[in-house]
Amino acid sequence: KAMEHPYGIALGPDGYIYVSSQDTFTVLRFQLDGSPGPRPKAIKKEDTSKKMAGAFVVFPAGEDVRGITFDEKGTLYVSNKVHGVMMFDRDGFQIGLIEVEKPIGLLYSTERESVFIGSTQGHHSQVLEYNVHDHTLKATYHAKGYLNHPAGMVVYKDTLYAVSQSDGTIIEFNLNKGKYKRTVNGDLPDIGEHLLLSMC
């Protein structure tokens, strides 16, 4: 199986589309016509007989992958349920790790020079904002009773929108104050995993 339960999607700086396949523990990359992208150097050095076409990063069974995002340097961030947020270079080699328990959604914000990580630690859900340069924690956003299993996220000016997946809602945080502001949509028609901001 090449892809099962696609979770995260991101356009890479190399022009390929990257997709995390949660149930096959893989990040795949595709050309814009849908055909598989080339194998990275990290996989070419291994036995490729069992690797999926288009595989960019392959994790051991049981290491679910969820959100993915790129920063301005072209580093790929991957939410790995077991280890945290893992970072990979353009050749598919791991170059770093942000130790976060059970990360879910990921978002890179150019304006804030931050990586946002949705996380569920025990029964406590929150969004963590990390400095993209040194990966130190800048801020934590939580709203007890409103934020549960934070998946898709988007930032607009001083506002963070996050999908509360378990509740089927979209909630809003004020980034300057670091506080929950309101529930934007309280009745999503399905389990939300992504948000897209359209400037219309």
We report the CATH number of the domain holding residue 22 as 2.130.10.10
Considering the domain boundaries, does residue 166 fall inside one?
A: no
- Please tell me the least confidently modeled range out of 21-30, 91-100, 101-110, 120-129: 120-129
Distance CA 47, CA 101 (A): 31
Token code pair at residue 6: 């696609």
For residue 43, give the H/E element and its range: helix 41-44
pTM of the model: 0.91
Residues 151, 135 contacting (CB under 8 angstroms): no
Identify the pLDDT of residue 88.
98
pLDDT above 70 coverage of the chain, percent: 96
Considering the domain boundaries, does residue 136 fall inside one?
A: yes
pLDDT at 13 over 90: yes
Residues 113, 131 contacting (CB under 8 angstroms): yes
Q: How many CB atoms lie within 10 A of CB 61?
A: 7
Considering the domain boundaries, does residue 134 fall inside one?
A: yes
Residues 32, 11 contacting (CB under 8 angstroms): no
Considering the domain boundaries, does residue 190 fall inside one?
A: no
* CA dihedral (30, 65, 12, 200) positive or negative: positive
Distance CA 178, CA 162 (A): 13
Token code pair at residue 124: 């406590």
Q: How many CB atoms lie within 10 A of CB 102?
A: 18
Considering the domain boundaries, does residue 195 fall inside one?
A: no
Considering the domain boundaries, does residue 180 fall inside one?
A: no
Q: What is the pLDDT of residues 142-180, one digit of tens each?
A: 988 888 889 999 999 999 999 988 888 899 999 999 999
Q: What is the pLDDT of residues 63-114, one digit of tens each?
A: 999 999 999 999 999 999 999 999 999 999 999 999 999 999 999 999 999 9
Residues 74, 17 contacting (CB under 8 angstroms): no
Write out the residue range of the structural domain in which residue 57 sits.
Answer: 6-146
Q: Quickly state the pLDDT bin for 43 (edges 50, 70, 90).
A: confident
